[in-house]
Structure 1
């Protein structure tokens, strides 16, 4: 180890993923951290005891001890109270995140990791942690110094009511020793008027109990300057133990207070918006709950998430994103200042805590003393109006929305963790409704979240436990009826949840990133099965696979396809990838490059559900496509609607002009089949021929169908 390394902040990384350790060492080492790697929670705890790292990153899913248990154990160590701990997870599940904070996590980060942003956050947390540590050390040293240093002293004798000041006190107050005679009345005049009751209360307690005390308060000097002082006051007793007066030492601590305020601001306020942060808000929420419980009052929490912020941040950069956050925070604070429903709690520096930034594009608002829950809805509507107004940033005009979840104390929870978790959950459901909605929490949301979390737990093991299945739906030639291909469709045979069709789990897999594993498994399984069919001479057909945009946009997607084809030694021409119109149009230039790479491999490309997505048809001629799949919604209406028939004929004419083959999906009736057979449609897929079936039934259908055609 180089000597300079000893001065680097230590980052302890606990994760059972060896590959991720390589990435952490690469990025964090280059960013000025000394990285220590551990591969399970127990090892991490022992290293923590020995090394006392500056910051800890823990994966939630680990053997032996999971991330939650490891975090809780670290917080119980003598040197683990204030060390920043970041939990790493593959999903932004509200309940999992709430559990992480309950176990003592400082923050969380979602995999795959944005290393640039994470490194900034790590440096910020380490800096704040070091500053708080220095603050605690300074306070300890000052406490010792106050007992030793005679900075300014005074003495008051009760019997003759005489008060003596040392020269330092005259200098502190800006007074001339020859022109001013101190007494208890004029000394009181120098105390800040707001602090007089506080000081007098302490003096009475010292006189009554005959015990020393330390008092901090503000004074106003003769030049009208406000200063902070601390006094160590002790009672004077005679030989009988009777009270005869007071003696005190006074020290000007204004500079120390200013530094403490700066450090406290760094620790408790968001550095972009200058709003209270999550830590500060949770402290005040706890106090609010105590007051509401004592006074039997209600209040509401509004959990805000900005709609469209990520797109602006990714497109224009973090500087523009930060400016947008500042503008939103200004609109919220200005609006709430005029609202009679916002809370009126104050921190040590007279800042209101009615709005806070939790992180990212999430804000939280506290509405105090609600007369009725509808008041929260009124404020939510106001917030929508404030935020949805156009935002001018330089020469750009931005538009942004907001989704909100609302909880009401005590109906939706009687502690800070539950209220915040339920508000987050309600916000998630509001987002599901589309942009610009708000939702009050109800218990049904919690039940759905539990089921969702349960499914996600099992989902993480589905590939490893070989629970995924493929069903194949035949595609037949429109004229001959001969089977020419199939669409591979994913199913999940979960021992705990039963047999699940894709509609029950694909959306969750896309949200938590598991769709990448599932998609890779589907492609490997299709190639493996086709290699078996090649050996059995069942190889005169094409198999189509649906692609997720998340999977398709992975940098490793093309290399994964190449290695899979090479592993199973199959002809790429058998494989067709189905993409939606919205996927193709998301980033046309990058999409064109990737589609051409797939075409070079020999893979065919199809547009799925054609006619239901992006309205422009210019990409059909630009992109290297092979098939158009006519959406089932048009096929379903063929026998009932002339408009549907006209749309299908138009799609067929367009495809023919562009030399693209066509497949009609969702064919269920003989009328639909006959209509399509009398057009230029090339192939048919649907329940009229077969539902999606397991591989054994598919092979049987294949054999019978093609044998019957040969016989005729």
Structure 2
């Protein structure tokens, strides 16, 4: 509705006595201005009408007698929505006290009687704009309060004196100790006993400087300690707002992420990235004159064997126990070092797999690194109990020393790794310092590994056969299959150089399967060509023997080659047989049931328990060449060889002597009733073509 200069969307409420001159004049003025009016008769009706129509403007005659004008003014202002309404008090000329009381009760403006129409119109326009402004502010305040309620933080409005003016608490905030709420409470009471002083000081600082403050502190809630982040924000009135949020879970997650970023998840040790940083920082620090830093690269020997025997879960448990034992050794060493003002262990890390690194600083002599390596070897050689099994492992340790073996973390780690491989090449369970020659050997080993992975595909591997001779007839009765590697640039690689590498990398599995297939097919070809049947022996590595599909693989190979199983002999080392005897017996019996012959290879180098071996359904026992070499000049070797032959015969086992190289050795074996022999005295390993001629010659009786 629009009238003259006044636009009023809701009725104007007029509160005055029925017969008063104010009512008559104001009514006429409002009517001339075109305003719709609401005229309650008394205070009760006024409040009811106020709630019903929510007027923008109320005209209140302070001289009314039907109700107390000031109480009515206060009631209207305190009613729901009253803070958004403009209340114009109409006072008599000179009634300044009445105007003051009306304003204190909630009036927003006043008019002096007698009322001028034009002045009334202007005051109504101003009152309407003021009401609309207050309504907008009220809506914004409600919206902001709704947003604050939705924030899961404790929000406090603090007075300059340090008491709570207003607050919003999240649903899960425990207010049981404040049943009447927080308003009027001292700030010291609200923040409990954990961090009141520092928070109060920060609030004072905000009031003084008008600059925000942020702090983090612990709050005890029940039996738990929670981490809170508190932000104290200034405002123009000098009444800071305090926002507290529980960041316990966030800090816990950050800690976990930090742990994952810098630590190995399995062992809890530092990871490779973190260790590289530690080494780099250690090298940057100015050390005492003549002091050095050492890197010990520790590799756990034969962990793959543990995984294959007990499973990867127990293998992981073993790695955790190894980590604990290394940490214990490092801490003992560090305590002794501090007492003696010598070396300091800065970190232990797992680099991945079965590799660990120890950082040793402030050593005055390389002997300090050697002493730590010895202690690590001793500690790690003690048995580990896994699922009621005693497991023994050893370690190979490589040591690189700064500044002699490198100036940077990467170089030192690479050289320590190289020295570790040198320790492995020296028989494991020892430590080696880095040398340039060791580096050359390590590089060659890495090169060979890469080339060996391609050797099968490139057809660089081939087999030769060494005859096994019957010592009574002198005839070839068996053949041992031997693999050879013809490297395209290095020439023939000795088996001792690449077979251990194949076992360490797992390449022995495809290579071994290929050897088995080639040997069976070649033997079948000889049989088909009319040569007398002969058995061919193939060595099974420990890795192959532990494969679950071993029986299927051998059965498939025999089927594909159409070789009679009795003409295949499988050689297994005694250490492989004894490694996990319970499951091994089952596998051996399955192989025996297929009809193949079974031989114990390199007997005498491992457990050497003939009484235990009788539990296995074996056919042949091969005496290791180390006993045969000195059998004619070493009384102990001669006695051992005689005993092995005699005991093997008592167990109905045939005996083959390996490495026979001269007439004297042969004569000794014949005198002691050894069944068969092989070695350079009779024949070097032969290619299939040369061996074919050898067998043809034997078949013809020449």
Take 2:298 and 2:616, find their aligned partners in 1: how far apart are those partners? 40
Map of 2:275 onto structure 1:
281
Q: Deviations over 1:63-85 (max 9, x none)?
A: xxxxxxxxxxxxxxxxxxxxxxx
Asked if the contact 2:319/2:354 (under 8 Å) is kept, the reply is no
- For the residues of structure 2 that align with 1:353 and 1:682, how far apart are their CA atoms? 61
Q: How many residues align?
A: 526
Hey, what does 2:582 align to over in structure 1? 589
Residue 700 of structure 1: how far off its partner (Å): 2.3
**Distance of aligned partners of 1:657 and 1:443 in 2 relative to their CA distance in 1, 3 Å threshold:** same
TM-aligned CA distance change 1:285 to 1:588, over 3 Å: same
Partner of 2:454: helix, strand, or coil?
Answer: coil
| CA drift at 1:590 | 2.4
Give the distance between the partners of 2:386 and 2:556, measured in 1 at CA: 47
The alpha-carbon distance between structure 1 residues 296 and 163, as it changes in their structure 2 partners (threshold 3 A), is farther
Distance 1:454 1:261 in 2: 43
1:702 pairs with 2:699: no
Contact 2:571/2:601 (8 A) holds in 1: yes
Equivalent in the alignment of 1:324: 321
Could you list the per-position Cα deviations for residues 613-642 of structure 1 after superposition, in whole angstroms to 9, with x for gaps in the alignment? 322112443322222223333333344345
Higher relative contact order (CA 8 A, sep 6+): 1
- The answer on 1:667 being equivalent to 2:660 is yes
Distance 1:178 1:551, change over 3 A: closer
Q: Is the 8 A contact 1:191 1:220 kept in 2?
A: no
Gap regions ≥5 residues in structure 2: 1-152, 170-181, 189-194
Taking the aligned partners of 1:567 and 1:560, their CA distance within structure 2 comes to: 11
What's the counterpart of residue 452 of structure 1?
445
What CA distance in whole angstroms lies between the structure 1 residues aligned with 2:606 and 2:680? 24
Q: Using a 3 Å threshold, how does the CA distance of structure 1 residues 441 and 682 change in structure 2: closer, same or farther?
A: same
Give TM-score scaled by structure 2 length. Answer: 0.61
Q: Residue deviations 1:646-698, cap 9 Å, x none?
A: 44333333333333333233222233334444442333322122111212222
Deviations 1:322-344 (A, max 9, x none): 873574266246425525469x9
Give, in whole Å, the separation in 2 of the partners of 1:605 and 1:651.
17
The superposition leaves residues 80-111 of structure 1 with CA deviations (integer Å, 9 ceiling, x where unpaired) of: xxxxxxxxxxxxxxxxxxxxxxxxxxxxxxxx
Cα distance, 1:604 vs structure 2: 1.4
Q: 1:654 to 1:229 in 2, by over 3 A?
A: closer
TM score, norm. by length of structure 1: 0.60
Question: Does the CA contact (< 8 Å) of 2:227 and 2:248 recur in 1?
Answer: no
Q: How far apart in 1 are the matches of 2:597 and 2:278?
A: 59
Q: Is the 8 A contact 1:191 1:218 kept in 2?
A: no
> What is the Cα deviation at residue 568 of structure 1?
1.9
**CA-to-aligned-CA distance 1:522-546 (integer Å, 9 cap, x gap):** 1111122122212321233222222
Q: Which residue of 2 aligns with 1:573?
A: 566
1:377 equivalent in alignment to 2:374: no
2:509 counterpart (490, 513, 516): 516
Range moving further from structure 2, 572-581 or 679-688: 679-688
Could you tell me which residue of structure 2 aligns to residue 142 of structure 1? none
Partner of 1:692: 685
Tell me the alpha carbon deviations over residues 493-548 of structure 1, each in whole angstroms, 9 at most, x when there is no partner. 12132122312211101111111111111111112212221232123322222221
SS in 2 for 1:454: helix
Equivalent-residue separation in structure 2 for 1:393 and 1:571 (angstroms): 43
Match of 2:357 among 340, 345, 364: 364
- Secondary structure of 1:612's counterpart equals coil
SS of 1:338's equivalent in the other structure is: helix
Rounded to whole Å, the distance in 2 between the matches of 1:289 and 1:295 is 14
Is this contact kept in 1: 2:423–2:432, CA < 8 A?
yes
- Residues 264, 280 of structure 1: alpha-carbon distance in 2 compared, 3 angstrom cutoff: farther
3-state DSSP class of the match of 2:537?
Answer: strand
Q: Could you tell me which of 610, 624, 638 is aligned with 1:631?
A: 624
Deviations 1:422-460 (A, max 9, x none): 334433444554565333333333322221121111211
Partners of 1:394 and 1:648 in 2: CA distance: 39
Distance 2:548 2:226 in 1: 60
Query: Shift of the alpha carbon at 1:601?
Result: 2.4
> Residue in 2 aligned with 1:602?
595
Where 2:445 maps in the other structure, the secondary structure is: helix
CA RMSD across the alignment: 5.3
- In structure 2, how many angstroms separate the alpha carbons of the residues matched to 1:256 and 1:554? 47
- Alignment correspondent of 1:440: 433
Contact (CA 8 Å) 2:219, 2:228: kept in 1 or not? Answer: no
- 1:115 corresponds in structure 2 to none
Distance 1:616 1:307 in 2: 25
Q: CA distance change for structure 1 residues 154 and 539 in 2, over 3 Å: closer, same or farther?
A: farther
Shift of 1:190: 3.6
Counting only pairs closer than 5 Å after superposition, residues 123-522 of structure 1 correspond to structure 2 as 190=198, 255=248, 258-267=251-260, 268-270=262-264, 274-291=268-285, 298-305=292-299, 318=314, 321=318, 324=321, 327-328=324-325, 331-332=328-329, 334-335=331-332, 338-340=335-337, 354-358=347-351, 362-383=355-376, 403-433=396-426, 437-522=430-515
Unaligned stretches of 5+ residues in structure 1: 1-148, 156-161, 181-186, 197-202, 237-244, 345-351
2:523 is the alignment partner of 1:536: no
Alpha-carbon distance in structure 1 between the residues aligned to 2:458 and 2:386: 51
Is 1:490–1:522's contact at 8 Å kept on the other side of the alignment? yes
Cα deviation digits, residues 387-440 of structure 1 (max 9, x gap): 667889999988776543333334434444443343344334445545653333
Specify the alignment match of 2:47 in structure 1. Answer: none
CA distance in 2, matches of 1:374, 1:634: 38
Secondary structure of the structure 2 residue equivalent to 1:517? helix
Q: Matches of 2:282 and 2:166 in 1, distance apart?
A: 42
Q: Distance in 2 between matches of 1:578 and 1:279?
A: 45
Aligned residue for 1:629, secondary structure, equals strand
The separation in 2 between residues aligned to 1:383 and 1:508, in whole angstroms, is: 25
Instruction: Say if 1:152 and 1:391 are closer, same or farther in 2 by CA, change over 3 A.
Output: farther
Rounded to whole Å, the distance in 2 between the matches of 1:360 and 1:190 is 49
Equivalent pair of 2:621/2:648 in contact (CA under 8 Å): yes
TM-aligned CA distance change 1:514 to 1:389, over 3 Å: closer
Rg comparison, structure with higher value: 2
SS in 2 for 1:461: helix
1:609 is displaced (CA, Å) by: 2.6
Using the alignment, how far apart are the partners of 2:594 and 2:532 within structure 1? 18
Residue 647 of structure 2, aligned match among 654, 667, 674: 654
Residues 271 and 685 of structure 1: is their aligned pair in 2 closer, same or farther, counting only changes over 3 Å? Answer: closer
**Separation (CA, whole Å) in 1 of partners of 2:244 and 2:465:** 83
Instruction: Report the CA distance between 1:254 and its aligned residue.
Output: 5.4
Once residues 549 and 388 of structure 2 are traced to their aligned partners in structure 1, the CA distance between those partners, rounded to angstroms, is: 38
Q: Distance in 2 between matches of 1:150 and 1:590?
A: 65
More displaced, 442-451 or 249-258?
A: 249-258
SS of equivalent residue, structure 1 residue 505: helix
1:24-48 Cα distance to aligned partner (Å, 9 max, x none)? xxxxxxxxxxxxxxxxxxxxxxxxx
What secondary structure sits across from 1:703 in the alignment? helix
For residues 541 and 377 of structure 2, what CA distance do their matches in structure 1 show? 33
Question: Within 2, Cα distance between the matches of 1:396 and 1:563?
Answer: 35
| DSSP-derived class of the 2:614 partner | helix
Q: Report which stretch shifted further, 316-325 or 558-567.
A: 316-325
